[in-house]
Structure 1
Amino acid sequence: MATVALRSSQGKWVMVCTIMASAMAFIDATALNVILPSLQKNLKASGPDLFWILNAYLLMLASLILIGGTLGDKLGRKKVFMTGIFIFILGSVACGFSSGATMLIIFRLIQGIGGALMIPGSLSLISSSINEKERGKAIGTWSAATTLVTMGGPALGGALADAGLWRYIFFINVPIGLIVLFFLTSKVSESKEETAHTGLDFYGAITIAAGLAMLTFGFLRLPAVGFIHLQSFGSIAGGIVFLFAFIGIERKSSHPMMPLSLFSNLIFSGTNLLTFFLYAGLGTGMLFISLNMVQVQGYTQLESGLTFLPFTFFMVINARYAGSLADKYGPRIFLISGPFLAGTGLLLLSFIGQTSGASDYWTSFFPGILVFGFGMSLTVAPLTAAVMGSVSDNLSGTASGVNNAVSRIAGVFANAVLGSVAVLLFSAALQKEIKTDTFDLQQKQTIIAQAANLGNASVPEGFTLTEGQKIKKAYQAGFINSYNVIMKISAVLGYTASLMALIFIRKKATKITPDYKQCLSA
């Protein structure tokens, strides 16, 4: 289809609509980390409940985002994009009215369905609408603008949570979504590939959804029941079987939701490996930073949200220029240095112990967040431009869907696996902390049982004031111990992402065409 200039009227409306819709989804993700303490207390949610509240959305998003991108290419990018926005609005309203953790988890699934149709549509519309010479700049603009709004999410979430209004994080999506739907209807033209295959890969969608769900469930049950239990080992094994079945289905399908031929391009493969490791580290790091600040270090939720402003500053200043420079010089140097710096920032954050609260921010969290934010600002736009630039326009929706799915799958696995690891580390640290105390065996078991709640662990009933103070200190020390290890693991994931760029990314790549069978047989 014909493309337009970034500064044209059509180009500007495409950017406005895609930025607003994407920001709506991303605000939820960043703000939710900050409001989790209020949400956990208000809904009486356990630690595993928190991870399911995060993962329910990510799981559905990861499972269906591939077919969402493909549907956009085949049925019309604007049409599928608008359908996703509408479903996301409905899910957001339902989440806002949730009266318990289980209900919120269910409605987060609905949000995930909407996001799966909506998120790949934004980059697909940009790639198919904006001319190739300005595409990197457009994606950089999208990255900077969405990040500016998105990273305002923690501050907004913190303010609302401190005021007891955490539900409005979901309700705010309604006016934003309705405005976007109005402008899409009146200002943006439809975009689709007339030559695209008509079939839909429902079997692929079912198998990957089942595989990811079973893996996530198995890892989340691991701390409670142990690895040899059917709920953990059986679910993990079943999930692996389903994922292998998904690969088999994609290999044989005439209309795969994830064409395996895409991965014959080293840049496409490398950028997706980079995405997986980087976003696994990013998601886990930001979650545990927020929990540490609010539940252990004594920050208010607003203060916790505001601490990410340096991150926002770098993303706004650097993202657009990084995208333009990647167009000119190639993405390789940015995709090596950016994740390396992000990993270094996470490593600096891993050495933080007990502080005196927000007054110590500048000497504790600030240096790490500064380096972390600078690294991410060099990465986001070049990474997205490299992914979209490695395929032809006909496959832009599919490529966007695959890359977004990889980032969400990374979040699901990071939250499930490292969340379980954090609980196990917390339990082990608690056992060591109370080993020399005079508690009997039953009391120790009661104390350690609270580890499932992580930073929200509270002193059980039946202990004296003095004993309660000891237990509280043990909880704080135990959580910080697990936080330190989890952040080091997140740093290693960042360094691994940098290594993927070093190995796979080159200046130029041959674009993958939509002839899947020809590519597979070549």
Structure 2
Amino acid sequence: MTSQTTIDKAPPPQDPAPAPAKGLRGHPWLTLFSVAIGVMMVALDGTIVAIANPAIQKDLGASLADVQWITNGYLLALAVALITAGKLGDRFGHRQTFLIGIAGFAVASGAIGLSSEISLVIAFRVLQGLFGALLMPAALGLLRATFPAEKLNMAIGIWGMVIGASTAGGPIVGGLLVEHVSWQSVFFINVPVGIVALAFGLVILKDHRAQNAPRSFDIPGIVLLSGAMFAIVWGIIKAGEWGWDSPSTWAWLGASVVLFAVFAVWETKVKEPLIPLAMFRSVPLSAGVVLMVLMAIAFMGGLFFVTFFLQGVHGMSPVDSGLHLLPLTGMMIVSSPLAGVLITKFGPRVPLVGGMVATAAAMFGMTTLTAGTSTLMMSLWFGLLGLGLAPVMVGATEVIVGNAPMELSGVAGGLQQAAMQVGGALGTAVLGAIMSSKVSADFAGNWKEAGIPIPADPKLEEAAEFASVPAKELAKAGLEPPVIEKIGAVIHDTFVSGMHLAFTVAGVVAVVAALVATLTKRGENADAAAGGAHI
């Protein structure tokens, strides 16, 4: 197959290097600006909705499970469809899939804002995820095809900066909109942004199709991979409800392993596979995928607890907690383009290793956070985390996309995003389980040591998992303020001890990721396009 030949022998790609653009259409930096608007919309939506969930629950009378599915439905659709969406871009052109994704995402967002039932909100969130899946790999495919090799890392650096800033800025924007407008505005804001992105895309984006792009679809491969991705993400999501020792959890995870195995066998038989397995003969590409998963486990899993720590233990509002994460956002904004420059000059290996070491140091540093930790100390660890994550997001993306053949750039982009989504879900679920077990182990002892004159309530143990003190409910039950204060201290102390263990595990994962990063190198196809030697 063409893809196997390209990877096994690594000849220069048959697609010519991008020609200098004349006028607006196809201009590299305007292309970056155009795709950044769309990517910002999707990345922002990943975290902005979390702030709106309580208001949605109250307004629509939703259950806790319903509210969880507002996020989980989006995550599932995104994770399942990303690689297939990348294939669609490779086949029909990344410009077309990007524009369809923009339009569909904006329409689905408007439909959510107009929904009066929680079932409709969840359904349109799934639709949002499907259209969002079209956007992300198409954006990378457009950048790969538009930018010359010597400037690609800088472009990906800015692209990563937009994703990081949007993800981290979601709680701030969401808090402002929910507090001062309505929860519907969190979704309505995507409509004008989508219109602007669509207008820029129609004028600026140029269609790029690789000469060797496959002309047929591997339908059985799509079904098998989608089923495998659904099974693993579903199993991870439901593990929090079923428990990690539940037969149901392991049945779904086992089903994902079986489906992945059948998919792998099928891909060796079909003429034009969805994912040519020869891609993974590239050690740097495989290492980049594993690195992206590990990075997301540490980052998404760790960040999940930070918001509860700030709002629960320190009593901050959603807006204030978002503002306290500005050092994280700011460092990602500043260091992402710089990471692109360093990676272009020195290759990705050293920045990736250094980034994961800094991430590990930040995670271990956050094991010192307590109710008395100052804003300055918190800012130090959050800033170090942003500094470490930036080169990893930029470098791992370059390693995965750059080591794939040009005709599979969309698939590689989908693979990169899918790895991040699976890693994020895995990090939240696994670290959440570790946190929960630690809380269960410590709560009764902490309650006894505090000398509280009433038996420990299991509901208060559940509250400790979220650092939430139900002060009003305790007061209504007739408890005196000093007793309520002691209960609050137990809840916070128990949460913090569980959070510390979760951060320790996240730090260990980051150390493993640093070791994996030593296997990465610059994409061979990017080197060939630049006329450089293979590393």
TM-score range, shorter chain: 0.7 to 0.9
Structure 1 range deviating more: 226-235 or 395-404: 226-235
CA drift of 1:22 comes to 0.6
CA distance in 1, matches of 2:457, 2:138: 52
Alignment of 1:110-509 (within 5 A): 110-163=127-180, 165-227=182-244, 229-355=246-372, 360-363=374-377, 365-435=378-448, 437=452, 439=454, 444-448=457-461, 450=463, 454-456=466-468, 458=470, 463-466=477-480, 468-502=484-518, 504-506=519-521, 509=524
2:215 is paired with a residue whose SS is coil
Q: Deviations over 1:382-427 (max 9, x none)?
A: 3322222212322211111111111111112222333333333333
CA drift of 1:471 comes to 3.7
* Coordinate RMSD, CA, aligned: 3.0
CA distance in 1, matches of 2:203, 2:525: 37
How many percent identity over aligned positions?
25
CA drift of 1:510 comes to 6.5
Any conservation in 1 of the 2:399–2:522 contact (CA below 8 Å)?
Answer: no
Give the TM-score taking structure 2 as reference length: 0.85
- Paired AA for residue 473 in structure 1: A
Alpha-carbon distance change, 162 to 491 in structure 1, aligned in 2, over 3 angstroms: farther
CA distance in 2, matches of 1:232, 1:306: 37
CA drift of 1:322 comes to 2.0
Alpha-carbon distance change, 224 to 501 in structure 1, aligned in 2, over 3 angstroms: closer
- Paired AA for residue 510 in structure 2: G
Residue 86 of structure 2: aligned partner: 69
Alpha-carbon distance change, 329 to 241 in structure 1, aligned in 2, over 3 angstroms: same
Any conservation in 1 of the 2:398–2:522 contact (CA below 8 Å)?
Answer: no
CA distance in 2, matches of 1:485, 1:433: 16
Residue 54 of structure 1: aligned partner: 71
Q: Deviations over 1:330-373 (max 9, x none)?
A: 111101101110121122122212238xxx3113x111111111
1:434 is paired with a residue whose SS is helix
Matched, 1:19 2:55: no
Matched, 1:81 2:98: yes
Alignment of 1:2-13 (within 5 A): 3-5=18-20, 9=24, 10-13=27-30
CA distance in 1, matches of 2:222, 2:444: 43
CA distance in 2, matches of 1:303, 1:476: 19
Alpha-carbon distance change, 219 to 508 in structure 1, aligned in 2, over 3 angstroms: closer
CA distance in 1, matches of 2:440, 2:355: 35
Give the TM-score taking structure 1 as reference length: 0.87
1:491 is paired with a residue whose SS is helix
Alpha-carbon distance change, 286 to 80 in structure 1, aligned in 2, over 3 angstroms: same
1:465 is paired with a residue whose SS is coil
- Paired AA for residue 454 in structure 1: F
CA drift of 1:60 comes to 1.6
Residue 520 of structure 1: aligned partner: none
CA distance in 2, matches of 1:60, 1:418: 22
CA drift of 1:207 comes to 3.0
1:350 is paired with a residue whose SS is helix
Matched length: 505
Gaps of 5+ in 2: 1-14, 529-535
Q: Deviations over 1:273-326 (max 9, x none)?
A: 111101111111222111221133211111111122222322232222321231
CA drift of 1:457 comes to 6.2
Alpha-carbon distance change, 327 to 225 in structure 1, aligned in 2, over 3 angstroms: closer
